[in-house]
A and B are shown apart, each in its own frame.
Chain A
Amino acid sequence: DVKVTQSSRYLVKRTGEKVFLECVQDMDHENMFWYRQDPGLGLRLIYFSYDVKMKEKGDIPEGYSVSREKKERFSLILESASTNQTSMYLCASSLPSGRSGELFFGEGSRLTVL
């Protein structure tokens, strides 16, 4: 089974803190994604990476950055956390394919910014 592991299930941070969310997948997938999940808004793509050191902005990249130094690891960084970044963050991975492939999700990281 594909396993996508997010290092922190719950985090509480203060406004202005730097926050790191880590995600590791064990199936050698090229594609990795960070989404945020908010009630009534569904999942919104923050960043996408299709290879090591390659990244692409999603629909809501403002206030976030990412790092992909190794194929299996994709990190989401909040340089200066704000209260409007309180949310559930989902990491996902997939194989590249001629057609859109299945997304495999982590369990999520619930971030609260005070």
Chain B
Amino acid sequence: AQRVTQPEKLLSVFKGAPVELKCNYSYSGSPELFWYVQYSRQRLQLLLRHISRESIKGFTADLNKGETSFHLKKPFAQEEDSAMYYCALGYNFNKFYFGSGTKLNVKP
């Protein structure tokens, strides 16, 4: 069965510090991994997907099939990065399994 694990419920860092939000997955097929973000009072939206291999708002995520991980990283956190982050696994072309989420708090 497919699973997504985000071990940290809350992550607090100071502005300018590096941040890494962890995501591990379990899936027997070829995984498609995503990061979604929900800022305060806004709707959930796509941040980035592994297939794009791009950097969005300074965030990157690399799919590591050996470690079954898709950690989200940013070298210098900003206060506006404070939000709820969800890792998601796409499977069977049209379905998605979400992790439990990590709340990132960037302190001034």
Contact = CB atoms under 8 A, between A and B. Distances in A.
A92 B99 CA distance: 17
B69 interface: no
Contacts of B95: 45, 48, 100
A98 to B, nearest CB: 7
A31 B96 CA distance: 12
Nearest to A35: B98
B94 A98 contact: no
Contact of A94 (B9, B94, B97, B99): B94
A88 to B, nearest CB: 10
Interface string B72-104: 000000000000001010110111111111000
Contacts of B101: 42
Q: Is the interface of B mostly helix, strand, loop or mixed?
A: strand
A105 B100 contact: no
A105 B103 CA distance: 19
A84 interface: no
B90 A108 contact: no
B51 A99 contact: yes
B99 to A, nearest CB: 5
Interface residues of A, number: 27
B93 A99 contact: yes
Contacts of A105: 43-45
A106 B42 CA distance: 9
10 interchain residue pairs of minimum CB distance? A100-B90, A42-B100, A43-B98, A105-B44, A42-B98, A100-B32, A105-B43, A102-B46, A42-B101, A107-B43
Given A48-B94, A102-B49, A108-B43, 7 more contacts: A43-B86, A43-B98, A94-B94, A99-B51, A100-B96, A103-B36, A105-B45
